[in-house]
Chain A
Amino acid sequence: MEEVIKRLNAEYGFGLSADEIKLVATQAEEVRRMLQPLHEIDLAGIMPWTRVDRRVKP
């Protein structure tokens, strides 16, 4: 993940120090772990919720 953060740092010009890159990489890894369960269920045939209009039942 550190390489990804280094790439973003260069692209956006955040000016992160080496310590900051490590810290952000740790957070990014936490985010990845937190969202991992979304990829572990069967979503075949399910359409994404792309329009929020609560008048219409999904």
Chain B
Amino acid sequence: MTGNELETMTIANCSPRIMKREVSPVEVTRLFLERIDRINPTLNAYMTLTADQALADAKRAEDEIAHGRYRGPLHGIPVSIKDNLATRGVRTTAGSKILADWVPDFDATVVFKLREAGAIVLGKTNMHEWASGGTTINPFYGTTRNPWDLERITGGSSGGSAAAVAASMCLGSIGTDNMGSVRNPASMCGVVGLKPTYGRVSRFGDVPGTGGDSTDHIGIFTKTVEDCGLVLQAVAGHDLKDPLSADEPVPEYSASIGQSVRGLTVGIIRDYFDKLAKREVREAFARAVGVLESLGMKAEEVTIPHMDLVAATQNCTTWVERVSAHVRYLRSRPRDYSPGFLYRQIAILTIPAETYVTAQKVRRIICEEFDRALERVQVIVAPTTEIPAAKIEECNRGEVEVDGEKISLRGPRGNLGIQCTLPFNLTGLPALSVCCGFSSSGLPIGLQVVGGAFQENMVFRVAHAYETAARWHERAPRLS
């Protein structure tokens, strides 16, 4: 095996070779660590590497497999973890100065489950400060650069995870998604990003204050839809340590891969997403719907009457739930936040309790409307982000130029880049981003596939059918 093979390697094509002992987990891990050494100084996707531990774990995996104790498709597979998920004995900063030296004495449940499945954790990935933005321009740990264009952002907040997968510095990564923090960077880096149903994956060990209690989700990055199902299989399930995790049976996700989508109906919410998405995204989305129709799916328009209140409801819910986790540090260490984050949290403290409760009433109406829509269609599709990845310099200025028009990153509904994803944090529905083409500048564009609650299998089925027909996943960024 050579380092060149890493660019086309997936979990699905690597794990049978590990199982048959054609390649060793130690060899694979070493190749990934060498690639990280070479590429990470440019991309800044990883903020902490755990090379020694990874090699020790890979050796253990190799020994187990040699003795006939193969654990499954993740055994010996190198992965990375966003830095707001607790890792025993490894610094976990949440992208903040306040937690710069925090070394947990426990693993988040998702990390524990990955280790149980035999995955090899290579390190922790960079993120937006407290997971509270969509650029991964981090004042304390530096900016993560997009593998498709180094002058551009990766999106965020899990930008390091997306860049690490896109640049073949691991085969899968775990992030968190509170308003789109998995799907947004997945779209901007051209990889698959899944936010499962709320409660599907335990949030135990997700650093408090990096998302709303009722809107944040653990999510998955991989190169392909099939790989995403393999990782979800390992990390899904009820967890007594997370009272909000769901006691719902975990189906066999690989069963949905390769199933025909002929005769299924795909819903499109025209008004909301058409207004948000800019030209090249709209065009790529329209072509993607055409591909789904060519596969035998019927496209149907669906209406969510209170869609215009989604952003206000989601923002209010997330902001209030998140700030409550920061009160202690706001009192004791306010100047250890970046000024932008600090000012925002103080502004959020002015939201009356009555407004939060009102938002929860509106949330009920919106959830009911989505559930009704999903009784008529099997999935809803939408663009993942309004625009492809912006330039880092534009984000620092707070204004991006798209279609000859200057747009503020902070609009009247909230931040640009997350308006297409946040409806599914509010509703808790499973949503996956898969690459659906490239802009004229060569930047990836994402298609979001959304299913009913706990219908990840349907989401995988449609996304895999699209991916196989469109074959965008066969492209890789050129990194010297």
> A: which residues have CB within 8 A of B?
1, 4-5, 8-9, 12-16, 20, 23-24, 27-28, 30-35, 37-39, 41, 43, 46-50, 52-55, 57-58
Select A1's contact among B197, B312, B350, B357, beta carbons within 8 Å: B350
**Cβ of A46 and Cβ of B364 under 8 Å apart?**
yes
Of all chain B residues, the one with the shortest Cβ separation from A14 is B334
The CA of A5 and the CA of B412, in the complex, are separated in Å by: 21
Contact across chains for B199 and A15 when beta carbons are under 8 A apart: no
Sample (10) of A-B pairs whose CB atoms are under 8 Å apart:
A9-B346, A14-B330, A32-B351, A38-B359, A41-B306, A49-B361, A50-B360, A52-B214, A54-B453, A58-B368
* A residues near B214, Cβ cutoff 8 Å: 52
Q: How far is the CB of B364 from chain A (nearest CB, A)?
A: 4
Q: Taking A52-B198, A55-B246 as contacts, is the C-beta distance between A5 and B346 under 8 angstroms?
A: yes
Cβ-closest chain A residue relative to B344? A27
In chain B between 312 and 369, which residues have their CB closer than 8 angstroms to a CB of chain A? 312-313, 315-316, 319, 330-331, 334-335, 339, 342-344, 346-351, 355, 357-365, 367-368
Neighbouring A residues of B347 by C-beta, 8 Å: 24, 27-28, 30-31
Q: Is the CB of A38 within 8 A of B331?
A: no
In the complex, chain B residues 192-209 whose Cβ is within 8 Å of any chain A Cβ: 197-199
Complexed CA–CA distance, A13 and B361 (Å)? 34
Main secondary structure of the interface of B (DSSP, over half): helix
From A30, A32, A49, A53, contact of B364 by CB (8 A): A49
- Indicate with 1 or 0, residue by residue over B171-187, a CB within 8 angstroms of chain A CB atoms: 00000000000000000
Closest Cβ neighbor of B365 among chain A residues: A46
Interface residue count on the B side (C-beta < 8 Å): 50
- The complex places the Cα of A38 from the Cα of B360 at a distance, in Å, of 10
Q: Does B454 contact A (CB under 8 A)?
A: yes
Residue of A nearest to B247 (CB): A55
Contact B331 A12 (CB under 8 A): yes
Is A55 in contact with B453, judged by CB distance below 8 angstroms? yes
Roughly how many angstroms separate A8 CA and B248 CA in the complex, as a whole number?
43
Within 8 Å CB of A15, what residues of B?
A: 334-335
Shortest C-beta distance, A11 to chain B (Å), equals: 9
Q: Mask for B302-315, Cβ within 8 A of A = 1, else 0?
A: 00001011011101
- Known contacts A28-B346, A53-B199; 8 additional CB pairs below 8 A are A5-B350, A9-B346, A13-B331, A14-B346, A35-B315, A38-B313, A49-B364, A58-B367
CA of A35 to CA of B356 in the docked complex: distance in angstroms?
10
Contact of A38 among B246, B350, B358 (CB under 8 A): B358
Q: Is B244 an interface position by the 8 A CB rule? A: yes
